[in-house]
Amino acid sequence: MPPVAQEGNCLIYRGSNFLKQRLVLSCLSGKPVKITQIRAEDEQAPGLREYEISLIRLLDKLTNGTKIELNPAGTSVMFSPGLLHGGQLHHDCCVQRGIGYFLDALIALGPFCKMPLQCTLRGVTNSKDSPSVDHIKGAGLSLLKRFLLVDEGLDLRVVRRGVAPLGGGEVIFSCPVRKSLRAIQFQQQGMVKRIRGTVYACKVSPAMANRTVESAKGCMLKFLPDVYIYTDQNRGKMSGNSPGFGICLLAETTDGVCFAADCISNTREESDSPAIPEDMGRDVAMRLLDEIYRGGCCDAAYQWLAALFMALGQKHVSKFLTGPLSTYTVHFLQHLRDFFSITFKLENPETDDDEQDDMRGAQKVLMTCVGIGYTNISKRVL
């Protein structure tokens, strides 16, 4: 949705959709953003949700000099970003959303902070509505490394797990700073060479994890011999506040592209019937195969991150091949145009019939843009 109006440098939007995109791009561009009519039609619970307020607090900790104005009902927010500072942060994330919801913002902003970022986040490490920390570690950070060149200091460590609804998990995210990002030409996804996975169990029988492993492995071995799935059994304080188990599978190609898929057990609020480990193993295997079918040079969940770093890169042509664009990515490209006045050329890469046979899968999209030459004003050297 394009901005409703623009007052000077300030962009004005309506509604609660894509709030995180708008706040992250506001921090990067330095443009204030005003969002009005946030769930104004919802008479029971109008205004910002608790997890959205938690995200705004995290961005306030990450920056220096940010001004935030909320109206009493919480249906309107004025966000005037300060300078990205970084350093050591501690944040208790709202358990309505997984830690992945907050980590996405930190991954986008981390390289442009004044101080290298070391952030401790507490909350729900694995949930259905956000990418799990395993998903981010495999697919998100592998993409970030391509733009950073030197990945020394880039790390995501799971201290303890905590599943929905009560959480209790903790992760530490470290990110180095860069003066600028390089332009990238990445159009080959390669062939899948190995599959790795993690099955975690918190406050449930270890047999649940083993049964999930057997089911997922049974499906994947029909396609590839190199399959290894780790089990992460958690007990006592290391297992968070809620019972649950889940699995994350990661497929790595010969060119270093990573595709990931998640599956997590039901909570009591979501369903009366418990999750069956064998079904979860099959589901996650099918989701990963679907992700591989979509293809491209990044995971579908992180197309937006590739677009962001291409736009902010040096003033050279960047090209990046992805699978079919997700709705989230399409809206992100529109927001990039609003905040940075940059547009992408999207085309279907032309391939010969022989090559098309080798690249069987979903329709690909070749994203092309010229970077704006964004530089980190706080960092004088690379």
CATH of the domain at 256: 3.30.360.20
- pLDDT per position as a tens digit, 271-283: 767 789 999 999 9
Residue 360's pLDDT is what?
Answer: 56
Summarize the confidence of residues 166-183 as an average pLDDT. Answer: 90
- pLDDT per position as a tens digit, 76-114: 999 999 999 999 999 999 999 999 999 999 999 999 999
pLDDT at 353 over 60: no
Domain annotation covers residue 223: yes
Whether residues 303 and 288 fall in one domain? no
Domain annotation covers residue 147: no
Whether residues 283 and 310 fall in one domain? no
Residue 13's pLDDT is what?
Answer: 94
Summarize the confidence of residues 133-144 as an average pLDDT. Answer: 92
53 to 29, 68, 69, 83, 126: CA distances (angstroms): 21, 11, 12, 20, 20
Provide the mean pLDDT of the chain. Answer: 89
Whether residues 6 and 75 fall in one domain? yes
Domain annotation covers residue 217: yes
Whether residues 243 and 327 fall in one domain? no
Residue 376's pLDDT is what?
Answer: 81
Whether residues 367 and 301 fall in one domain? yes
Whether residues 230 and 322 fall in one domain? no
Domain annotation covers residue 201: yes
Instruction: Give me the residues paired with residue 70 across strands.
Output: 77
Residue 281's pLDDT is what?
Answer: 93
Domain annotation covers residue 104: no
Q: Which of 193-197, 263-267, 361-365 has the highest mean predicted lDDT (pLDDT)?
A: 193-197
pTM for the structure as a whole: 0.92
Domain annotation covers residue 4: yes
Domain annotation covers residue 308: yes
Domain annotation covers residue 259: yes
Q: Out of 1-5, 37-41, 254-258, pick the least confident.
A: 1-5
Whether residues 290 and 303 fall in one domain? no
Question: 42, 65, 82 — which closes off a domain?
Answer: 82
Question: 232, 262, 294 — which closes off a domain?
Answer: 294
Whether residues 234 and 328 fall in one domain? no
Q: In one letter, which amino acid is 192?
A: V
Residue-number span of the structural domain to which 201 is assigned:
192-294
Give me 81's structure tokens. Answer: 């970003």
Question: 26, 48, 82 — which closes off a domain?
Answer: 82
Whether residues 319 and 279 fall in one domain? no
Residue 288's pLDDT is what?
Answer: 94
Whether residues 220 and 246 fall in one domain? yes
Residue 1's pLDDT is what?
Answer: 61
Residue in 292, 317, 300, 304 with CA at minimum distance from that of residue 368: 317
Whether residues 208 and 224 fall in one domain? yes
Whether residues 227 and 265 fall in one domain? yes
**Total domain count for the chain?**
3
